[in-house]
Structure 1
Amino acid sequence: MADDPDVPDFEVPVGLFQDLEDLKAEVARLSAQVKALTAGADGRAGEALPDAADVGQEAEEDAAEDEAQFPPFILLLDPPEYDDELRALIEWVEGVLVPGYLSEPSSDARWCHMWFEHPVAVARLHALWLAWQELTDPATCGYTGPSVWHRDHLDPCMRELRPSAGPFAGCTKGEHQVDHRMPGLVPSAWNRPED
């Protein structure tokens, strides 16, 4: 490579290798998408593209499918969707996160067995779970996805949830307190007026 005048000779920082693998996976995904979009009715690539009206209608249908396929942020859901999403989140937290990643609770690393009654914990753990779903699928993120999930999602989430001043501050190993950190109600986009 050093003999090639078109290739610059420099050291590549280690962190760039992860980014490069992520970019390769994204290019492969986009290439497959372009190939699928340019394929004709009988599946052969290179045929004429459909006219703009058809593309617009297909894009709207794809957007509707994407909405149904990917759950929105849990705090924006109303029952029964909220309840279904929370049940699935509890399965993941209790089946994957707690046994695989959480050490014994202590004064410096708190955890509440009733975490699902702490809205802050539900919000953060739901975001963590959504990232897990995306970043553990090699088809969407390449092979570096789990590493990115640990670095960018798991570690920051645990730093926010488990410190002694975090959302579980009033909870001890055998006692749960959810109201200890709840502020008074403030009108906002999160609170809907009672009908």
Structure 2
Amino acid sequence: MPVGMFEDIEDLKAQVARLTALIDKPAASGDSDPGEASAETEEPAGEEDAEDEGQYPPLILLLDSPAYDDELRALIEWVEGVLVPGYLAEPGADARWCHLWFEHTVAVARLHAMWLAWQELTDPASCGYLGPSTWHRDHLDPALRELRAPSGPFAGCTKGEHQVAHRLPGIVPSAWTREDA
């Protein structure tokens, strides 16, 4: 029997045991009708974890301080420690890069998404041996094409000169506004 199938069967057995315990609990106490939900009924284990997983990973632009600052700090370490030395050649007119990339909102959003994918797809336990190839094809290459394109977020930046204002939208969607308290 394959290992994955054995784990699935064990998970199913655990779920049946939890459901049986939930059904037997009201019947043993005799306080409520069998079809009535008890106020003391606990959520099955793992359901709370599933809710948390559904919330994460958040779009970095929607985080508030200090969560935004912590996430940006970790992103900067990855970009400057892995991405820049490993994947970015000397910038040129057709392949721009801004040394102040973290001040470009679009760049932060794209690089953060790329970093989240990298974390998942370089873990052999979760993705096997094809993860890195998938990351390069589906995440790195398209993101760098967009970031370094002539109309990308670094379009107004040249070597030694940084400009952000050329990319700021006139109206910012309300979900993206950040108010410092």
Q: TM range, normalised to the smaller chain?
A: 0.7 to 0.9
Distance across 2 between alignment mates of 1:182 and 1:91: 25
The equivalent position to 1:66 in structure 2, one of 44, 50, 53, is 53
Q: Which runs of 5+ in 1 are unaligned?
A: 1-26, 41-46
Residues 24-82 of structure 1, C-alpha deviation per residue, up to 9 Å, x if partnerless? xxx97x64752552466xxxxxx9632175894213332255368x5422111000000
Once the 2 structures are TM-superposed, how far is the Cα of residue 191 of structure 1 from its aligned partner? 2.5
The equivalent position to 1:105 in structure 2, one of 68, 91, 94, is 91
Task: Report sequence identity in percent.
Answer: 65
For the aligned residues, what is the CA RMSD? 2.9
Once the 2 structures are TM-superposed, how far is the Cα of residue 98 of structure 1 from its aligned partner? 0.3
TM-score by length of 1: 0.72
Distance across 1 between alignment mates of 2:6 and 2:149: 44
Q: Aligned residues, how many?
A: 161
Change (3 A) 1:116 1:192: closer
Partner of 1:49: 17
Partner of 1:157: 143
Q: Which runs of 5+ in 2 are unaligned?
A: 23-40
Q: 175-184 vs 92-101, which deviates more?
A: 175-184
Which structure ranks higher in relative contact order (CA pairs < 8 Å, sequence separation ≥ 6)?
A: 1
Partner of 1:17: none
Change (3 A) 1:107 1:36: farther
Distance across 2 between alignment mates of 1:85 and 1:36: 36
Once the 2 structures are TM-superposed, how far is the Cα of residue 99 of structure 1 from its aligned partner? 0.3
Distance across 1 between alignment mates of 2:101 and 2:151: 15
Partner of 1:184: 170
Once the 2 structures are TM-superposed, how far is the Cα of residue 163 of structure 1 from its aligned partner? 1.3
Partner of 2:117: 131
Change (3 A) 1:186 1:142: same
SS at structure 2 position matched to 1:37: helix
Amino acid at match of 1:37: D
Change (3 A) 1:67 1:80: farther
Change (3 A) 1:34 1:107: same
Distance across 2 between alignment mates of 1:33 and 1:78: 39
TM-score by length of 2: 0.77
